Structure 1
Amino acid sequence: MAFQTMESQSNPQMTKDDKLSIVMFPWLAFGHMIPFLELSKLIALKGHRITFVSTPKNIDRLPKIPQNLSPLITFKKIPLPHVEKLPENAEATIDLPYDKVKYLKKAYDQLEQPITQLLQDTSPDWVIYDFAPYWLGPIAAKLDISSAYFSIFIAASLCFVGPVQNLIGVRDNNRTKPEDFTVPPKWVPFESTVAFRLFEINRVFDDVTGEDENVPAMYRMGASIDGCDVVAVRSSYEFEPEWLQLLEEIYQKPVIPVGQLPPIPQDHDSVDDNKEWKTIKEWLDKQAKGSVVYVAFGSEAKPSQYELTEIAHGLELTGFPFFWALRKKRGLADTEVVELPDGFEERTKERGIVCTSWAPQLKILSHDSVGGFLTHSAWSSVVEAIQFEKPLILLTFFTEQGLNARLLEEKKMGYSVPRDDRDGSFTRDSVADSVKLVMVEEGGKIYRDKVREVKGLFVDRDIQDEYVNNLLDYFRKHNQRARAQDAT
């Protein structure tokens, strides 16, 4: 289902008054900052001005923006306040082991005053913010600035976690123990398998219940939704129409999908990027078409030692060439460094690469020799895989990844490595069998075909453009209504 009629399709010449000034304020995780940046670029392409706010180290690590957009996107660096127990120089989740992320949230909450000052000084038309700054909606309203909560989580995940009243604890929803999250909730009126498996919810239950010395993630999300004028979702009607419709009913406020935000491949990388990519490309060029399994679990997920060992042996058992972007530790404060099995690199050196530094994922996925992607199911990685028609082998770790995986399984867009429901354990054989199934076996043809089939819905530039136009149309009309009300 696409939009039937839209004024913006004619793209009339914008007057100066039509141009919007927008502040972007994502959570301090690259899985959040990158979608915020992609949306910023698409909005700037329409001639609107963006102020992208984060901490100095994070802004320095973001991908460079195209030169034609640099006059319209301003990066605003706000220093992260010092918080006890937060390791030095840690400014994003990538810099920290999971148990220390709560201190990053505490530091982030102390950005309330500088963000308020920035909004007062710049008086933007809109502020678009993430789940974490639960305090920002009321501040924007007080300053007469329109606000949008932008969810990088898909609509199915948002529906699963539920109505605002449940999230902020106003209403008892009878979900008090992990097992309650392993079945679809009562407010989902249609058949669905979207729910956590027990090991998935157990890994993040402290952030659901608030037992982590901090404001729980669910409360943050609920308050962020409650305080905004409109909810923008990284999703599309072509992909999950029933979930988007349900979400609007659950939230009782406008929900606007912004498309899947497929990244535009960069053609102006730095010298270092090109040097690293040249070496990787030379190796990929030597491999047969569709033979390489690419393995990566994002910037946050780090396998346990047991998981790492089984993944390594599983890759070895496939006999396939592989490129593995591996995180052995999360930041300098992470004392639990994981190691590859003895002799693994020596035994696989002719057909595998283990990269423990940054890997250019988009370029790797775009290469013809890559025939499958073993991934954690975070949505940016899913979109990138579909963009280049790479079938998905799913191995979830935490947060919303399990919910993403269920929807992908439902739609035959991905196959999950079989695991024990209680502790999430899996075997090297299950890894090897899953990779072989999805990449080459007849039984996995449905996954290979499905990714090719849905590619157009995910990465079509005209569809994506339409979603951004729709969002901006809503922004303008909302502000016109607000001005008209103020005038009466």
Structure 2
Amino acid sequence: MADNTKLRIAMFPWLAFGHMIPWLQLAKLIAQKGHEIIFISTSRNIDRLPKLSPNLASFIHFVKLPLPQVENLPENAEATMDLHYDDVWYLKQAYDRLQEPMKHLLQSLSPDWIFYDFTAYWLPTIARQLDIPHGFFSIFTAAVLGYLGPPSALINRADHDLNTPEDYTRQPKWVPFPTTVAFRLFEARRVFHVITGDESNVSDFYRIGETLRSCDIIAIRSCVDFGPEWLRVLEDIHRKPVIPIGQLPTTADDGGEETGTWRWIKEWLDKQEKGSVVYVAFGSEAKPSQEELTEIAFGLELSGLPFFWVLKKRLGPADTKLIELPDGFEEQTKGRGVVCTSWAPQVKILAHDSVGGFLSHSGWSSVVEALQFGRALVLLTCFADQGLIAKQLAEKKIGYVVPREEGDGSFTRDSVAESLRLVVVEEEGKFYREKAMEMKGLFGDRDRQNQYVDNFLNYLESHRCLK
């Protein structure tokens, strides 16, 4: 006889590891409560996800859907990290062809709930046809989702006078309190093609708008102690349940067994003074241009600070735009800095006492990982929602944004060096370090995170359709 007290939850994240990893983190937290998770993705992505601990393996079931082939999508490119940013359109086209396989899968699985990402704007229709309760799980924070606004602003931009990149640099009219959270002009220009779409591509804003309009509930990676005013904006504009599920912090143990890579990194970090090292990383899907890389490198050199840089020279095999360090850079900084071009255990590095600051792209997972250890943030955005995240962190004095030219986003090695020294060592920037330590209690609180998951599950249990 089935245990009707336990939930069976299907999860379908977007094909980006910046999405799949926090989704998997939520899946683990739910599985620890004894509920069953059906985690759906493509074959290659599932094979690349971190391995489950034995105590969770019987609760989380991975289901592989073959990714349909589309023209211009390279073979084996199943995640955004396999492609250059400009080619992600093709991955979305392939993803949209999963509608029929997904419908058949859900018919056979008959879960209590299905949660989907912003890209699967077509999935609510399928869920309604099959009478499955369904929700949008947003890894975008409450501030980001609040800035984007109601479905009408996302689907019919012209009706809200949102026609040019400049229109996205202003405070939205649906936000009732003063805020600086908005794109800078160069950030709006970089994402404008995903805001508008074209004849062959559904825009990201349309996807988000339709997903928000059609879902039963919105589960969001946020907490009421960090930006509660933005959660109220979401409740006001969407008029449906908005449930914060916490920040989903990872732990140093989530990376699996200690590896030879971590051993040599730890040996180097152990030799550095406490709070002196700048950790530099831009996530799995962000990559600076060659010009930006050069300025970052010379900025690190000019700063005089020890650094550990995890550098991705290309995003994946299909990314032909290789970036290279300036000639002689590694020789000039030998002994003071390390450049690692392979995988590195970010959480373990950030947990090390020698790390004093983090030069980051502002991806929210990286921000959470840094703040749970009280690491000060220097922010250098690349694309997507990173500019909005950086603005909120700067507004709260939690992070310092590297000064840039508003029109094209260019910056200098001097601005990089000055920003790093300000945040990591100078007296004038001490409050950034103090604020980051203050956030440690909020972002690293396991008991608080556990309570968010309990509240979320209580809602799902009371609103499922008992079959």
| TM-score, length basis structure 2 | 0.98
Report what 1:3 is aligned to. none
Report what 2:36 is aligned to. 49
> Which residues of 2 match residues 210-221 of structure 1 at below 5 A?
210-211=197-198, 213-221=200-208
- Displacement of 1:268: 7.1
- Structure 2 runs not aligned, ≥5 long: none
Displacement over 6 Å in runs of 4+: none
- Structure 1 runs not aligned, ≥5 long: 1-14
Take 1:357 and 1:224, find their aligned partners in 2: how far apart are those partners? 36
Does 1:380 find its partner at 2:380? no
Is the Cα contact below 8 Å between 1:314 and 1:430 reproduced in 2? yes
| Residue among 301, 311, 314 paired with 1:329 | 314
Report what 2:379 is aligned to. 394
Partner deviation per Cα, 1:237-271 (whole Å, 9 max, x = no partner): 0001110011011111110000010013326725x
Is the Cα contact below 8 Å between 1:377 and 1:394 reproduced in 2? yes
Partner amino acid for 2:410?
S
Report what 2:432 is aligned to. 447
Partner amino acid for 1:174?
D
Does 1:465 find its partner at 2:450? yes
Is the Cα contact below 8 Å between 2:252 and 2:351 reproduced in 1? no
Partner deviation per Cα, 1:93-129 (whole Å, 9 max, x = no partner): 0010011100000011111111111110010000111
Report what 2:87 is aligned to. 100
- Displacement of 1:356: 1.3
Take 1:378 and 1:292, find their aligned partners in 2: how far apart are those partners? 20
Does 1:403 find its partner at 2:388? yes
Report what 1:173 is aligned to. 160
Report what 1:8 is aligned to. none
- Displacement of 1:57: 1.2
Take 1:171 and 1:50, find their aligned partners in 2: how far apart are those partners? 40
| Residue among 142, 156, 160 paired with 1:155 | 142
Is the Cα contact below 8 Å between 2:301 and 2:333 reproduced in 1? yes
- Displacement of 1:92: 0.5
Partner amino acid for 1:309?
T
Partner deviation per Cα, 1:371-412 (whole Å, 9 max, x = no partner): 100000010000000011110000001000000001000111
Report what 1:368 is aligned to. 353
Take 2:383 and 2:254, find their aligned partners in 1: how far apart are those partners? 33
Report what 1:36 is aligned to. 23
Give the stretch that moved more between structures: 31-40 or 327-336: 327-336
Does 1:18 find its partner at 2:10? no
Does 1:119 find its partner at 2:112? no
Is the Cα contact below 8 Å between 1:296 and 1:326 reproduced in 2? yes
Take 2:346 and 2:439, find their aligned partners in 1: how far apart are those partners? 20
- Identity, % of aligned positions: 62
Partner amino acid for 1:122?
L
Take 2:254 and 2:27, find their aligned partners in 1: how far apart are those partners? 18
Residues 77, 369 of structure 1: CA spacing in aligned structure 2 closer, same or farther, 3 A cutoff? same
Report what 1:349 is aligned to. 334
Is the Cα contact below 8 Å between 1:102 and 1:213 reproduced in 2? no
Give the stretch that moved more between structures: 160-169 or 26-35: 160-169
2:237 aligns to what SS in structure 1? helix
2:71 aligns to what SS in structure 1? coil
- Displacement of 1:422: 0.6
Residues 333, 447 of structure 1: CA spacing in aligned structure 2 closer, same or farther, 3 A cutoff? same
Report what 1:27 is aligned to. 14
Residues 244, 423 of structure 1: CA spacing in aligned structure 2 closer, same or farther, 3 A cutoff? same
Partner amino acid for 2:390?
A
- Displacement of 1:301: 0.9
Take 1:194 and 1:424, find their aligned partners in 2: how far apart are those partners? 17
